[in-house]
Amino acid sequence: MKDFFKMLAACFVALGMWATAGFIFSAVLIGILIASSEQGPRVPKDAMLVLNLSMNVTDTPQADDDLAVLRSALVSNEPPTVHLRALLSALDAAAVDDRIKGIYIHGSFLPSGMGSGFGALKEVRGALVRFKESGKPILAYLRNPDTRDFYIASTADSISLNPMGDLITPGLAIERYYLADFFERYGIGVQVPHAGRYKSFGESLTRKDMSAEDKEQNVALLEDLWADYLLTVSDARGISMEEHQRVIDDNAIISPAIALEVGLVDHIEHISNVLARLRETTGVESGSKSFKQIDATQYIRVVSDYGEFNDAEDQVAVLYAEGTIVGGEGRNDQAGSDRIGRELRKLRHDDSVKAVVLRVNSPGGAAIAADIIGDEVLRMMDAKPVIVSMGSYATSGGYWISSHSDRIFAQENTITGSIGVVGIVPNIERLANDHGIFFDGVKTARHADMFTLSRPKTAEEMALFQTWVDEAYEKFISLVATGRGIDQDRVRELAQGRVWSGIDAVEIGLVDEIGGLADAVRYAAETADLDEYRVVDYPAPRNQLEEILKRLGGGFNPVASQVEGRVSRRLREMMSDLEMLDVFDDPRGVYAIGPILRIGE
């Protein structure tokens, strides 16, 4: 026994030594990186700007990248994150930077959460097109590009494909999982009152297949998104849309030989050939190891002053509402109603802020949380202009908070609308009973226990839930009618929980204009009669050191993330969607949330 305690004590000492050593190592590494970051990255003359697509592009700004190396080593298993507006500004700056010779594109996107949606990527693509207008070249090297990757890479003057690579661009599809049979087998009950024929969020919980209404809206949505992709890429590569569609339909995954034959790529070659051309382009001798370059994430730090008038006193504030709309503060990847409401109040009382652009990239969430944010937007409109810029998603609660504004901008491939309300009422009675667990109790009123998970709701109780859902839906209809200046009966026709593409939303009056974040900022400045102004992001991102210290012990593995399989990605998406149910906090279970449309190949 004595030896046991000696061994136990030795283990504790060893663990303490390892913990101390780990802390010292982390502290030293942080110190080294902070010291080195003070010098900042340098841009070589005649350098290529390297755009590695192996990232997640988010609307919301992230912490400053001074400690990017440490974050890659210690932050939890997430892909590198790049702020959309920072990336757009860097690409625009590179077009007029004499040190930048051109852009080199490689890698493959790692979408996560609401990031790297087609709406955001359309803005990235637009910035690359503007870069080409400067006369500087764009080169791309691809291994197995998917639809997102090729949508961006198609801007290149020269596209090289690995000899063993393929174009994985079989088309767009929406496939949803349905849990009704699973819940039934395991004794979990879910009752879903809803308002709107197309309000399909709850169908995953109560059906075994896609409803006719959901299929109808999804077909129309995908047709618009696919038309944008096909037209954009075909035009860039100089082939007809009909020929492009035929090649995709005949092959699904397009081989290098066919891609070269039809003109989708320019070269079939290994990376060594591409590197040789890059060395030549940047004036580096053939025997050298690499070409002159600066990574886009580093270049963002070089041109971190986004606006043209960075000394101006007047501001156009860009406030981000990204992720599921929840009550309270919310996590970094959620739109917390208290946090966003507080920011709106600050901006309203800040005399230096002359206009606000509300950037929305959200499928919605709790109806009460959306209403809290929407009320603050209404109050802001009484004080200064409010312009909405929709990202890849602005559905349901995301549209709720957008409906009252001076103007709404969206991309052609933005997913918006879904004006409807759904209730989620789960119970675990059979699951508990099957495992020998039973419930009993007393109450002082007929409906005192109606929110319990221990039993299904009675017909009378479900009627009450439906009443709350209908009341929220009618308020939603009224808000949209007032904010958009549309008759309520017409809004009711357009609503029904149906999702629309940005291009359709403009035609039916739910959106004012096709355009990106920069267009919204310019319009806000014009509306506020500003000649010189700064563009400032809100809320301010958490300090990078705080982020690292908060998440010490994790570890992003860039190799593992880049080779994430389709099965693991699908499981991660399912878990992410189901996790949303846990953060919903409306006491009545009433939510203005649209379906999470995982659009892929």
pLDDT confidence of residue 226: 97
- How far is 411 from 514, CA to CA, in rounded Å? 5
Asked if 548 contacts 71 with a C-beta cutoff of 8 angstroms, the reply is yes
- How far is 1 from 581, CA to CA, in rounded Å? 50
Supply the residues annotated as catalytic: 199, 396
Q: Which of 103, 122, 109 is nearest to 55 (CA)?
A: 109
> 440 exposed, middle or buried (CB, 10 Å; 0-12, 13-18, 19+)?
exposed
- How far is 113 from 389, CA to CA, in rounded Å? 19
pLDDT in tens, 340-375: 999 999 999 999 999 999 999 999 999 999 999 999
Cα dihedral 258, 259, 261, 262 sign: positive
Q: Which of 398, 394, 319, 403 is nearest to 366 (CA)?
A: 398
Element of type H or E holding 34: helix 2-37
Q: Please give the structure tokens belonging to residue 554.
A: 């994790």
Asked if 365 contacts 595 with a C-beta cutoff of 8 angstroms, the reply is no
pLDDT in tens, 555-595: 444 433 344 444 455 555 555 655 555 555 566 667 788 76
Q: List the chain residues with pLDDT less than 50.
A: 1-2, 4-9, 11-15, 17-19, 21, 25, 32-33, 36-37, 65-66, 68-69, 72-73, 75-76, 306-307, 546-547, 550-567
Instruction: Name the residue type at position 34.
Output: I
Sheet harboring 590-593: ordered strands across?
194-195, 421-423, 590-593, 364-366, 324-326, 334-336
Q: Which of 452, 467, 563, 495 is nearest to 107 (CA)?
A: 563
Domains in the chain, ordered, with CATH?
45-170+252-306 (3.90.226.10), 177-233+309-439+453-543+587-601 (3.90.226.10)
Q: What is the reported pTM? A: 0.85
User: Residue 40, by phi and psi: left (phi above 0), alpha (psi -120 to 50) or beta?
Assistant: left
Q: Which of 347, 339, 341 is nearest to 372 (CA)?
A: 341
Cα dihedral 540, 546, 548, 551 sign: negative
